[in-house]
Structure 1
Amino acid sequence: MTSVPLTSRDSTRGRVRRVAALTMLALLVPLLAGCLRVQVSMGVSADDRVSGQIVAATVPKDEADKGPQLEPPESLESKVRVQEYKQDGYVGSQAFFQGLSFGDVQQLGLMSDQSAGAFQLQLQRSGDLVTLTGKVDLKSVPAQGTDVQFTIAFPARVATTNGTRENDSIVSWKLPPGEVTTIRAEVRYSDPNTRSFAGWAGIVGGATLGVAAIIAALAYVTRDPRPRPGGGGAAAGGLSLPGKLSGKLGGRKKEEQTEDA
């Protein structure tokens, strides 16, 4: 029986331990790095309705890991659709929303308590001015492997913002991990409620003019084409006299003609 020197055994065990340690380290790297992907994109329509999507995903720890699962609050269940997300080695969920009011947008941050970070978004209108404000807290998110982005499109040119302008009406933010980031943008476009009132007033005005035109047309069609009493005098001298006064003047003229005869 050949014996293995103690030093060789120790060396072999050391190599196995180092390999095992390196393997465990490789498995832990994604967990330590976070590898978080959060992408929020939305568009605001001219009638103050908001539509868009949210992606929340991480690199899975194992085959059973499904990543963060978005779940809409009861108040938004009829306006939000959630489906599975698998892309670029990330797993999680993707939510699509449509026709949200400005008040509904504030509840989007309640869709999941499993994903790291916290989103607070608010859209407000004051006259023709629409303001977007928000705060994204990523202090607990590791820097390595984290990708968090927010993009919003408006129906008019953005007046002021602290984000990156993609064009006149689209602004985006790439949110750094380990920090708290504020979001701000202002845009001016007419209040849809004011536009609705103006449209209603225009319809009422048009209907009023239409009724007046119909009445005028009926009056013209139903007029009496026969000449009125004394119409001949009006045609000859340009003045129509009342019937009784015209009769008296006619009788006097006949008497004067008889006396002359």
Structure 2
Amino acid sequence: MEKHAEAHQAPPSYDSATTSGPPGYPVNQQPPAYNSMNDKIPERPTVPCVPAPGYCLPSAPPAMAAGERYWAYEMFFCFSDLPTCCGQMFCPCVVEYLTARKANLKKLGMWLAVVTVTCIMLSIVVNCMYTDMMQQQVETINTMNEPRRRHSGNDWFLLQVLCYALGMISLARFCMGLYLRSQIRSKFNIGPNRGMMGNLEDAVCVFCCYDCVMCQNKSTMDKFEREGLIYDSAPMVHA
């Protein structure tokens, strides 16, 4: 009977507050209680993000890029990038638009391309009118006869107006090119920050060697694109 009673005896109870427990079982520990909202909840351990083979993490946008950088080449070494040099020579509006677009200045690139096309068309018209007028005057002087078609004062006035418009549009183009270069320099931290002297140097380069400056800008943006420094936050939607 005693053995039967011992077999039906209740198992021992273990208090959760005590540190002892049944053999082979972990101790039941309660999580710490947070009495107020000011108590800091322990942070979860962060797992490092490792890209899979063949993939890479997105790079930072141009505004967040740190570290001093430099242009792709010196000012008068534009022939080192021959495709860009030929593009600036025969179709400058496309080169200017692509440069501004890669610098996240798409609207500026569109307006700069429009101004460039207008400047080219006005230059062709002015050159044609001036050549025709000079040819008529030379023919009159050589033959001492009346020209086939005499130009009136209105023609000369129109030529002067077109020359004035061409000068103003060219000035606007130079100013927009200077603004584009200054934005590229500031966004990508190109060269040391020299304040007013740096802006004056850029202005002299743009007004004296505009095509060389545009080639340098385009080649530099292509270089940054290959290095992964250009980040497109909103991809272009194709039709």
- Report the TM range for the smaller structure's normalisation: under 0.3
Q: Which has the higher strand share?
A: 1
Answer 1 or 2: higher relative contact order, Cα 8 Å, separation at least 6: 2
Structure number, greater radius of gyration: 1
TM-score, normalised by the number of residues in structure 2:
0.23
Query: Normalising by structure 1, what TM-score?
Result: 0.22
